[in-house]
Structure 1
Amino acid sequence: MLNDMRYRIQFQKKKQTGRLPVDGKDSWETVIECWAKAEGLKGREYYAAAAIQKEKTIKFTIRHREDINEHMRIVFENKVYEIESILPNYSRRHFLMVKANVVS
């Protein structure tokens, strides 16, 4: 599994730059950078995603971390991905599976 983790991804969280929350001047800062396995959806997962127009979903497999949540985003190969879900990998307990959609 570790040999497949050949891509560098960044987890970013929103950082507020204005004094008021309504300023709308939010920026993103990188809080975590790690190695990941990136793969597209296959089979049943792909057709289920295509039914709701989310064909651009990627599954990232990373080492288990506690400091990741759905409010973050992922930067992978200069594209921004919105995190859809974070699931433990039950076959290999030291890993997490993160499903993310490309932001257009």
Structure 2
Amino acid sequence: MSYTAQELNTKITLSRFESHRDSEGILIEEWVQYAEVFAKFEPLLGREYFAAATITSDAQAKVTMRHMDGIDVADRITARGKNWNIQSIQNIQNRNRELLIYVKHNPIADA
């Protein structure tokens, strides 16, 4: 493995967007938490740049965690008080021991 248990020091929450109808038939769409685990969270880059007369934040990170089935790129990770969109998921060496997940900060979801 490429980490020690001590490095899994950031609690992350995995959420999935779901829709359902309440008792009155109104459609409810929300992010539903399905797992809370400890992971290694490493920022890759944080840069602000001026583009098209607006300041845009582009923050990305790498999340390493123990293997878990059912994670999808449509899911979201919440770590360190921020919401992160999953960009890719890699099962390291296809051994079902650890996952490497690349995420991108979603400032809209933090609002």
- Name which of 6, 12, 15 aligns with 2:15: 12
State the TM-score, normalizing by the size of structure 2.
0.70
User: What is the 5 A alignment of 1:3-82?
Assistant: 3-18=6-21, 25-41=28-44, 55-82=58-85
- Any conservation in 2 of the 1:86–1:99 contact (CA below 8 Å)? yes
Q: Secondary structure at the match of 1:56?
A: strand
- Any conservation in 2 of the 1:8–1:33 contact (CA below 8 Å)? yes
Offset at residue 24 of structure 1 (A)? 7.8
Q: Which structure 2 residue ranges, 5 or more long, are not aligned?
A: 50-55
Question: Share of identical aligned residues, percent?
Answer: 22
Offset at residue 17 of structure 1 (A)? 4.0
Q: Which structure 1 residue ranges, 5 or more long, are not aligned?
A: none
Distance 1:63 1:86 in 2: 12
Offset at residue 103 of structure 1 (A)? 0.3
For the aligned residue pairs, the C-alpha RMSD in angstroms reads: 2.4
Runs of 4+ residues deviating >4 angstroms: none
Offset at residue 77 of structure 1 (A)? 1.5
Name the larger-Rg structure: 2
Amino acid at match of 2:89: I
